[in-house]
Structure 1
Amino acid sequence: MDMDDLAWQTSNYRGLSPRRVRLLLEHGHLNLVAQVAVERGEWFCAEGAVEELCQAGDFGRALSVMEPFVETGWRAASYAKAEILLRAGHRTEEALDLVRPEEGGRASTTECRDFAEVLGKAGRIDEAIELLVPHLDESWLLSVLVDITEGQDRDERVLELIASRADHACQARGEGCCDYAHSNVQESQARVLERAGRADEAIRILGEDIAGRRFLAQNTLVTYAELLARHGRLDELRELGGGQDARTVLDIYASALRSDGRPEEAEAVMRDAIAADDWVGYRAWLSSMLLAEGRLDDAIAVAEPGFGWYDCSNLLAPLVDPLLDRPEELLYLVEHPTVVPHHGHEEFQHWWRAWALAGLGRVDEAITVAGLDRPWTDPRIVKADLLRRAGRLDDAADELRALGTIKAREELCEVLVLQGRADEAIAVHPTVAEQRAAEPQLEPVARGENGYSLEPPF
């Protein structure tokens, strides 16, 4: 293994993917996963095995799995080893020395962030805070500060660091400026105040900023609405949901009503909103709520006007997803007379119907329905997937073996694990080298000073 291979695995989810590693671990193959990690340089196997071993208290073996990866010089492996050492206890200095940034101010912001997180896990909170202080004008590091200090009795110190930045963000917005560097500072301040037992103060401060429109990001508005909901301030939340920000926060109000044991009121709120402003977001929330309550026909009736819209607004998919493991209801949905083809992606509707039929054991019908021209998917892999869905694992395995491509071997690995043949599954799964060799080789293109291609597609 080398750093390039490891980086390629993580950025492309290749090697044995996290899903396949989880499948192996769920079927009791920890020893095999640990062995494959070391012998084949499989990063996701290493991560999965280490987590299982640490949970079992076998820190020595976890370190032995991670060590070959550390020896490559890959920084992610060093951080993983440091975490093992911290979880093992009594090896704090060794862990910190492993990932400590270079002296002399040459450490990157990312390295400071990572080291601060390790310091936090080691209980060295004050050191972590001071490491982050010079970088807090970057909003993502402010979030790190808030995260690592939670439950550490440092809320007053954090609030001191946040206060001037929150004031600056409010002032800038009040003057019509956009201070993107501090776009999340108000919600961070509210979060720390709330966890410090000062929720009323958090609501007052953030509420004044919302009322004065002194905020930049929609997330700040959402944070305020959720804060009101958590503390039972439903009257204020209702008023907020009835104003100019209804599309952003009305679903939070409706969800709060449901949580308060008032589902009929929640439904009425959304039906009234649809009657006044037939916005897709209201229909999406209400149809999903009705489906969760087992009212599939009602959910379809609410969502049906949006079944033919474009991707981001199409309301069929949000109903399909919760039903993928409920084939009878899924088939009822996709064959319902009000369901129209998915705009621009009609093949998805056929695939969903095939998935439902296979789940009901009607695999021959499913294969016929799924037999569409979809250039991104080999039809034989689709067939094998449907056979697997129908519980016909031997037939699925035969299809995949006969195909023999890299993708087919990856899919075959999962089928063999389900058949209880984990060793064979590992043997048939392509190595990282095979996967990389099978990737299409892109021709280098000329790039401008901005790094973008000078030739289409740009």
Structure 2
Amino acid sequence: MDIDDLEWQKDWHGGVPPRLVEEILEHGCLDVLVEAARERGDWFCAEGAVRRLCAAGEFAHAWAVIEPFTATGWQPAVRTGADVLLRWGRVEQALELAHPPGPGPGDALTDYAEVLVGAGRVDDAIAALAPHLSERRVRQALVRITDGQGRDDRVLELLAPATDEFRRDPHQCRVPDLWDVLTARATVLERSGRVDEAISLLGADVAAGRYGPRNTVEFHVELLARHGRIEELRELATGAHGPTAVGPYIAALEDRGRAADAEVYLRGLIDSDAYPIPYENALMEFLIRQGRPDEAVRAVAHTFDEPHEPNLLQATMLLLAEHGHPDKALELTEGRSAAFLEENERYWLRSNRWWLMGEAGRSREALAEIEALPPDEVDDREVTIAWLLARDDRTEEAVARLRRCPGRRAATDLARLLVRQGRCAEAVAVIPDVSTQRAEKRRLLGKGEEGE
């Protein structure tokens, strides 16, 4: 194994994919993952095996699995290996493994600080991070690793200069990536019991427009919601930050048994807004959560035959299925306008319809529809048919069909079926190795080099 292959696996969920690893663990096939880690250098198999072994207290076995990966120097493996050593009680060995190879910020430094905390050396961890707080990931690590460690006042003291600099002028501060320091400070204030101070300070920043391109407003809204500040939430939802605050405001009302108030508020927004689609979508989601799927459909049905956006058909279908109403979702695929079908039928409506049929126990109808179409009009035809066969309890037919299909997706679907039959070693064997997967990715991208 080498770092390049390991990095590729992490970035592209290569090798045996994480979800399949979890299914293998659920079927009690830990030994299969251990073997795949050893023979194939499969990162997700190694990670899953180590997690399960540590949970069982088998730290020596876990270390034997992860040690070859740590030998590459790849940081995620180093971090995992250090965790194993810490839990095994080999503290000095863990610190030695995790010690950064060079100066400067980076994942190695933040991981090392976390290992120091695990070893009970919280102040040393803070001292290691303190010189590098101009880096966003270092600030985030400082806040994360000190949670519950009794060092909140020290963390606030360290964050204060960056907070003051950003507040003086968010657009001209010396370090351009300081936007998250506001939420970092609010996080520490909140967890230390100074909720009113966190809300007041962050609210002033939001009101003054002192925030960067990301989550300050969202964090402020969530902070208000967590602490039941309903009126302040309503004020934000009704003002310039409506698109951000409406959802949490509605959820907060629901959580407090005020669903009727939430519905009245949403319908009022729809009636008064020049572009009501986002609020109609929120109303649809609200009504489905309230167990009123028919009303939810009626609330947004006027968008369903729009050939382009805004069209809430697919969103409604998916949410109905998620809440246990695949038949109702399936009904929405019928009776659509000719203009809508011309634009969308082949590209997503058919595939969604067949998926819903499978979920609703109507796989044979879906198979008949597919068989009636020219093969070139059905994307991923063989894989789709195999999925429907499996849903119809015709697993061996599905397995036989998938064995004939090339590509990683078919192999993964085949492996999943084999795992469900308890054939875990066979399942891993049908997954292409990393070099084969990388070659397939290059072909799909149409490049001589991956460039990913």
TM-score, normalised relative to structure 1? 0.87
Identify which range, 162-171 or 17-26, moves more after superposition.
162-171
How far the C-alpha of 1:305 sits from its partner, in A, is 4.2
Where does 1:15-414 land on structure 2 (aligned, <5 Å)?
15-88=15-88, 90-102=89-101, 105=103, 107-173=104-170, 180-217=176-213, 219-277=215-273, 278-307=275-304, 314-322=311-319, 323=321, 326-335=325-334, 341=340, 345-346=344-345, 347-370=347-370, 377-403=379-405, 405-414=407-416
- Closer/same/farther in 2, CA of residues 266 and 118 from structure 1, 3 Å limit: same
Contact 2:183 2:219 survives alignment (8 Å): yes
**CA-CA distance at 1:154 after TM superposition:** 0.7
Counterpart among 410, 429, 432 of residue 430 in structure 1: 432
**Residues in 2 aligned to 1:218 and 1:305: alpha-carbon distance in whole angstroms:** 33
Structure 1 CA distance, aligned partners of 2:212 and 2:435?
47
> CA 1:15–1:213 in structure 2 vs 1: closer, same or farther (change >3 Å)?
closer
Q: Which of 1 and 2 has higher RCO (CA within 8 Å, sep 6+)?
A: 2
Structure 1 contact 333–339 (Cα < 8 Å) conserved: no
In 1: Cα distance, 2:26 partner to 2:127 partner: 42
Cα displacement (A) at 1:178: 10
- State the Cα deviation string for residues 261-282 of structure 1 (Å, max 9, x = none): 1011111111111111133322
1:405-450 deviation digits (Å, cap 9, x = unpaired): 55433321111111222232233332223333444455559xxxxx
Give the Cα–Cα distance (whole angstroms) in 1 for the partners of residues 72 and 258 of structure 2: 57
- 1:218 deviation in Å? 5.4
Instruction: Tell me how far apart the structure 2 counterparts of residues 118 and 42 of structure 1 sit (CA, whole Å).
Output: 25
Mapped to 1, the partners of 2:263 and 2:4 lie a distance apart of: 53
Aligned with 1:334: secondary structure? coil
Letter in 1 for 2:71: E
Counterpart Cα distance in 1 of 2:77 and 2:110:
16
- Matching residue's letter, 1:366: A
Could you tell me which amino acid in structure 1 is paired with residue 247 of structure 2?
D
Further displaced range: 367-376 or 138-147: 367-376
- Per the alignment, do residues 219 and 424 of structure 1 end up closer, same or farther by CA in structure 2, a change over 3 Å counting? closer
Percent of aligned positions with the same letter in both sequences?
40
Q: What is the TM-score normalised by the length of structure 2?
A: 0.88
Instruction: Quote the Cα distance in structure 1 between the aligned partners of 2:42 and 2:152.
Output: 41
Residues 262/430 of structure 1: CA separation in 2 closer, same or farther (3 Å cut): same
Q: Supply the distance in 2 between the matched residues of 1:131 and 1:301 (Cα, whole angstroms).
A: 58
Quote the Cα distance in structure 1 between the aligned partners of 2:431 and 2:292.
Answer: 43
The secondary structure found in structure 2 opposite 1:200 is helix
Deviation at 1:307, TM superposition (A): 4.1
CA distance in 1, matches of 2:394, 2:163: 60
Task: Report the Cα distance in structure 2 between the residues aligned to 1:312 and 1:83, rounded to whole angstroms.
Answer: 48
Check if 1:417 corresponds to 2:414: no
Amino acid at match of 2:384: V
Give the whole-Å Cα distance in 2 for the aligned partners of 1:69 and 1:11.
17
How far is the alpha carbon of 1:159 from its aligned partner?
Answer: 0.8
Name whichever of 341-350 and 110-119 sits farther off.
341-350
By how many angstroms is 1:216 displaced?
A: 3.2
Q: What are the Cα deviations for residues 224-272 of structure 1, in whole angstroms up to 9, with x where unaligned?
A: 2222222222122222222222222122211111111101111111111
Change in 2 beyond 3 A, CA 1:92/1:342: farther
Q: Bigger CA drift: 114-123 or 90-99?
A: 114-123
2:75·2:108 contact (CA, 8 Å) conserved in 1? no
SS of 2:120's equivalent in the other structure is coil
- What is the DSSP-based 3-state SS (H/G/I as helix, E as strand, rest coil) of the residue aligned with 2:80? helix
Query: Post-superposition shift, 1:117?
Result: 2.5
- Report the CA distance shift for 1:171/1:437 in structure 2 as closer, same or farther (over 3 A): closer
In structure 2, what is the Cα distance between the partners aligned to 1:83 and 1:113?
14
Does the 8 Å contact 1:328/1:356 carry over to 2? yes
Q: Distance in 2 between matches of 1:140 and 1:343?
A: 48
CA contact (8 A) 1:387 1:393 kept: yes
CA–CA separation in structure 2 for the residues paired with 1:163 and 1:253: 31
CA distance 1:341–1:113, shift in 2 (3 Å): farther
Query: How many residues get paired?
Result: 443
SS across alignment from 2:404: helix
Aligned counterparts of 2:152 and 2:93: Cα–Cα separation in 1: 29
Give the C-alpha shift of residue 44 in structure 1. 0.7
> Is the alpha carbon distance of 1:91 and 1:356 closer, same or farther for their aligned partners in structure 2, counting shifts above 3 Å?
same
Separation in structure 2 between the aligned mates of residue 214 and residue 407 of structure 1, nearest angstrom: 46
Whether the aligned pair in 1 keeps the contact of 2:113 and 2:129 (CA below 8 Å) is yes
Distance, in Å, in 2 between the alignment partners of 1:280 and 1:353 is: 24
Q: Is contact 1:342–1:348 with CA below 8 Å preserved after alignment?
A: no
1:351 & 1:423 partners in 2: Cα distance?
31
CA–CA separation in structure 2 for the residues paired with 1:64 and 1:345: 52
Q: Deviations over 1:322-347 (max 9, x none)?
A: 41565323323433769984895443
Partner of 1:455 in structure 2? none
Contact 1:341–1:349, Cα closer than 8 Å, also in 2: no
Structure 1 residue runs of 5 or longer lacking an equivalent are 446-450, 453-458
CA distance in 1, matches of 2:442, 2:101: 38
RMSD between aligned alpha carbons? Answer: 3.0
